[in-house]
Amino acid sequence: MDHNICRRFLTRPALVLAFAALAVSAEAQQSSAAVNPAAIKALNDMASYLRNLKAFQVESATTTDEVQDNGQLIQYTAKINFVVQMPNKLLATASSDRNERTFIYDGKTFTMFAQRAGYYATVPAPPTLRELDDALSEKYDIELPLADLFRFGSPDWKGADIKAATDIGPSEVGGITCEHYAFRQDDVDWQVWIQKGEYPLPRKLVITTTTEAARPQHTATYTWNLAPSFNQESFTFVPPAGARKIVLAAVGEPQGGK
């Protein structure tokens, strides 16, 4: 009997790594005493720098609060290791207490592998990472880890409506000197620590959901390598012994086996 992967095999938690907020709209840049122009400029400078990277590796350590039915917060942790060659190569691993996934994209095909279950699925893929994220979201309801990194500068990108922007001041993240900024939107408060100097990389992100009474948070810290070592075989999936190929169920398709 063939098996399907549930279309929610891996989804990005609400607002996880929400770099969407970092592409600043014209509305956010309107004159306002609550919006510090220096904070907005820092976001724009960071976005410009990120979208011009040709190859990079990011390691992310995250904590995410999940609100229980009784209002109690339960915190989950995860780690993501992410190697990219723009515009069309990706190798990512995401691991947590609940699951472990590998994502491989070579510009033609996309593979998702569940190590603990021993299952994998491979589907045809569009020619760029930006298009891949759109296709996976629309067809399979799957979000890639750190997917918003691919979207900076795309023609259809719209920035967030930032209501307040504050430069908190100098800070350190993992021994790296950063500038700490705080922002406010309708549904979230969020903070970002941007590395100072000629490499304006995000080093830490904290997002607080303000529409829920428990005010759950997502926190991520990032370790960057701008000269990663890899070869083209890194982006080719070779099924390990015993791994079983299964079908990636599209949105709206029955979830049962054949």
Peptide bond into 126 cis (omega under 30): no
Print burial letters for 138-154: b (CB count within 10 Å at least 16), e (below 16).
Answer: ebbbbbbbbbbbbbbee
Q: How far is the C-alpha of 194 from the C-alpha of 199, rounded, in Å?
A: 9
Q: How far is the C-alpha of 163 from the C-alpha of 40, rounded, in Å?
A: 11
Nearest to 51 by CA among 139, 162, 107, 128: 128
Cβ–Cβ contacts within 10 Å for residue 113, how many?
20
The conformation of residue 91, written as its DSSP 8-state character, comes to E
pLDDT of 124 higher than 50:
yes
Report pLDDT for 255.
57
**Tell me: the pLDDT tens digits for 205-234?**
999 999 999 999 999 999 999 999 988 899
pLDDT band at 254 (very low <50, low <70, confident <90, very high): low
Domains, in order of start, for the chain: 4-163+217-248 (2.50.20)
When the pLDDT of each residue in the chain is averaged and rounded to a whole number, the result is 83
**Tell me: the pLDDT tens digits for 138-158?**
999 887 776 656 554 444 444
pLDDT of 3 higher than 80:
no
Question: Full-prediction pTM beyond 0.85?
Answer: no
Tokens, residue 122: 């491979």
Nearest to 146 by CA among 211, 66, 91, 194: 91
Percentage of residues of the chain with pLDDT beyond 90: 60
